[in-house]
């Protein structure tokens, strides 16, 4: 019987979610095409997770050099940092990953189509001058940085441009309070730039545990990063070779670079979703049901383009669930509960489960266990950095509801505790686990007495 469509599945976007959905669907027998108008791998590979983490590694050597000399007997010779070398090496690694993604698609039998795909109906996609038809469409174009509409906004950069600056700025003004803002504040500071970070609210990292937010702010302030809360930029203008940013308090700041990290929006503009009948949310996001299906029965969406959790592993998880549901005969809904996450700030954050505020909002009475300490490595140095750990435990059931950490290796440590929370581990089971000594991680299984208790208001 001849096929009535060119493809069984047409995927828009070759990021982490789109590539995984394409490959797995093809392995289950679907005829798949995937369209992408930028380098393969999406934001994570090209302008996000991977290059960001490489820059974090680079920026941390200054602290490592100081620790080696101050406490561990090393004598280091003259040293300097060369930004172009770092960026060139980073670009070479990203190009290698782009090639790997291409070979993965090719090996899976996926037809890769270069160009921006535009929907012309529920089963029709145009790329350039060519039209393709497919029984099922999957929309996975990711997100895009947004810059507020202020005078001089064209003089600013976002994370897209930060990875390709020709030189390291002497002074960077970062506007925003999300994970991208605090990560790049640490990157530029560690590489030798002076950094001012502005945030419009009273404390950055909205949505994270309040103790974590306050702890990181204190550590960044100790490092010499100029944090200014309840402050925003109202306009930018050229001032000779530099920039001048006007602030909401009536003052201004001279700087070499203004970097907006004020959020990302779904990359749905110009995709033709309206022509296909797909309903969009107020910010351009695509609402979907529990199986990632839009309001149009044959069109699905995954990843940052939806209004769910914007993390690469989540997009990959949603892609796997989509493929199993549509082509594997196993209807599978993505599980967005207890998703571990990290902020590669300096010091980094690792977190999984509920924040204290979320636990109280959900009606739990909780026991709070927390600890702050200086890591063993730093005892021989002049560093005054502190690590902070916090457990949130349901008073009634003893189940651990949240694990939060600010300090070295936080992401690596919390990943393992994510498994524990997924298994509904109790505080008694944490207590019964023998710690690995001497490590920071052992602190999370040796917190014996709660430091305080909290109950929902009115309870």
Same domain, 140 and 275: yes
Same domain, 110 and 43: yes
Known catalytic membership, residue 437 = yes
pLDDT score recorded for residue 457:
84
Report if residue 295 sits inside a domain: yes
Q: How many Cβ atoms sit within 10 Å of the Cβ of residue 225?
A: 20
Q: Which residue has the tokens 């599945």?
A: 9
Same domain, 255 and 320: no
Nearest to 416 by CA among 383, 448, 445: 445
The rounded distance, in Å, linking the Cα atoms of 9 and 105 is: 14
Beta partners for residue 244, in sequence order: 237, 254
Same domain, 100 and 240: no
Q: Please identify which of the residues 60, 171, 388, 437 carries the catalytic annotation.
A: 437
pLDDT score recorded for residue 183:
98
pLDDT score recorded for residue 459:
63
The rounded distance, in Å, linking the Cα atoms of 120 and 13 is: 16
Burial per residue of 406-439, b for 16 or more beta-carbon CB atoms within 10 angstroms, e otherwise? bbbbbbebbeebbebbeeebbbeebeeeeeeeee
Report if residue 108 sits inside a domain: yes
- Single residue among 240, 262, 284 that ends a domain in this structure: 262
| DSSP 8-state code for residue 439 | -
- Strand-strand pairing, 171-175 and 257-260: parallel
pLDDT score recorded for residue 378:
95
Is residue 228 within 8 Å of residue 196, measured between CB atoms? yes
Beta partners for residue 178, in sequence order: none
Same domain, 24 and 125: yes
Same domain, 176 and 231: yes
Q: How many domains does the chain have?
A: 3
Phi, psi for residue 351 in degrees, rounded to 5 = -150, 145
- Give me the average pLDDT of each 10-residue run along the chain (459 residues): 83 98 98 98 97 98 96 95 98 98 98 98 98 98 96 98 98 98 98 98 97 98 97 97 97 98 96 97 97 98 96 98 98 98 98 98 98 96 95 98 98 98 98 98 97 87
Report if residue 221 sits inside a domain: yes
Same domain, 302 and 229: no
Report if residue 41 sits inside a domain: yes
Using CA atoms, how far residue 222 sits from 194, 254, 384, in Å, is 14, 22, 8
pLDDT score recorded for residue 307:
87
| Cα 30–chain centre separation | 31
> Residue 62 sits in a domain of what CATH number?
3.50.50.60
Q: How many residues are present in the chain?
A: 459
The rounded distance, in Å, linking the Cα atoms of 54 and 60 is: 10
The rounded distance, in Å, linking the Cα atoms of 418 and 121 is: 42
Report if residue 372 sits inside a domain: yes
- Single residue among 327, 350, 368 that ends a domain in this structure: 327
Same domain, 24 and 111: yes
pLDDT tens-digit map of 106-165: 999 999 999 999 999 999 999 999 999 999 999 999 999 999 999 999 999 999 999 999
Same domain, 226 and 300: no
Look up the domain containing 276 and give its range.
7-144+265-327
- Single residue among 304, 327, 350 that ends a domain in this structure: 327
The rounded distance, in Å, linking the Cα atoms of 222 and 217 is: 9
Same domain, 352 and 449: yes
Same domain, 220 and 73: no
pTM: 0.96
Report if residue 333 sits inside a domain: no
Report if residue 459 sits inside a domain: no
Rg (CA), the chain: 24
First to last CA, the chain: 65
Q: How many Cβ atoms sit within 10 Å of the Cβ of residue 185?
A: 27
Report if residue 434 sits inside a domain: yes
> Residue 435 sits in a domain of what CATH number?
3.30.390.30
Phi, psi for residue 92 in degrees, rounded to 5 = -65, -40
């Amino acid at each position: 019987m001849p096929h009535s469509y060119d493809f069984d599945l047409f995927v828009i976007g070759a990021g982490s979610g789109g590539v995984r959905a394409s490959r797995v669907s093809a392995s289950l027998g679907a005829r798949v095409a995937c369209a992408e108008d930028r380098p393969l791998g999406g934001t994570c590979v090209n302008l996000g997770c991977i290059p960001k983490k490489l820059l974090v590694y680079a920026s941390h050597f200054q602290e490592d050099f100081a620790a080696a000399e101050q406490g561990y007997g090393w004598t280091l010779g003259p040293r300097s940092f060369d930004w172009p070398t770092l960026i060139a090496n980073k670009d070479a690694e990203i190009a290698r990953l782009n090639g790997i993604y291409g070979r993965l698609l090719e090996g899976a039998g996926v037809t890769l189509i270069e160009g921006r795909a535009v929907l012309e109906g529920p089963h029709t996609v145009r790329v350039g001058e060519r039209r393709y038809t497919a029984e099922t469409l999957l929309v996975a174009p990711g997100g895009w940085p947004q810059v507020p509409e202020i005078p001089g906004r064209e003089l600013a950069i976002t994370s897209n441009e930060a990875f390709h600056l020709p030189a390291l700025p002497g002074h960077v003004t970062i506007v925003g309070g999300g994970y991208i803002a605090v990560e790049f504040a640490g990157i530029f500071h560690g590489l030798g730039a002076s950094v001012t970070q502005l945030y419009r609210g009273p404390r950055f990292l909205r949505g994270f545990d309040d103790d974590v937010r306050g702890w990181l702010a204190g550590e960044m302030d100790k490092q010499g990063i100029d944090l200014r809360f309840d402050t925003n930029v109202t306009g930018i203008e050229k001032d000779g070779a530099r920039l001048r940013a006007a602030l909401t308090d009536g003052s201004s700041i001279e700087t070499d670079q203004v970097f907006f990290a004020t959020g990302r929006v779904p990359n749905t503009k110009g995709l033709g979703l309206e022509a296909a009948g797909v309903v969009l949310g107020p910010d351009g996001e695509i609402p979907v049901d529990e199986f990632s299906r839009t309001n149009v029965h044959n069109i699905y969406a995954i990843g940052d383009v939806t209004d769910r959790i914007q993390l690469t592993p989540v997009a990959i998880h949603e892609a796997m669930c989509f493929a199993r549901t549509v082509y594997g005969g196993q209807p599978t809904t993505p599980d967005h509960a207890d998703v571990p996450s990290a902020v590669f700030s300096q010091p980094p954050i690792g977190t999984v489960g509920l924040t204290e505020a979320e636990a109280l909002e959900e009606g739990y009475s909780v026991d709070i266990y927390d600890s702050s300490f200086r890591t063993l490595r730093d005892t021989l140095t002049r560093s005054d950095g502190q690590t902070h750990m916090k457990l949130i435990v349901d008073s009634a059931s003893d189940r651990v509801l949240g694990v939060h950490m600010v300090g070295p290796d936080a992401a690596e440590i919390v990943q393992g505790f994510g498994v524990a929370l997924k298994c509904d581990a109790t505080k008694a089971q944490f207590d019964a686990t023998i710690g690995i000594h001497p490590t920071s991680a052992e602190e999370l299984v040796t917190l014996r007495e709660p430091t305080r208790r909290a109950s929902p208001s009115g309870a």
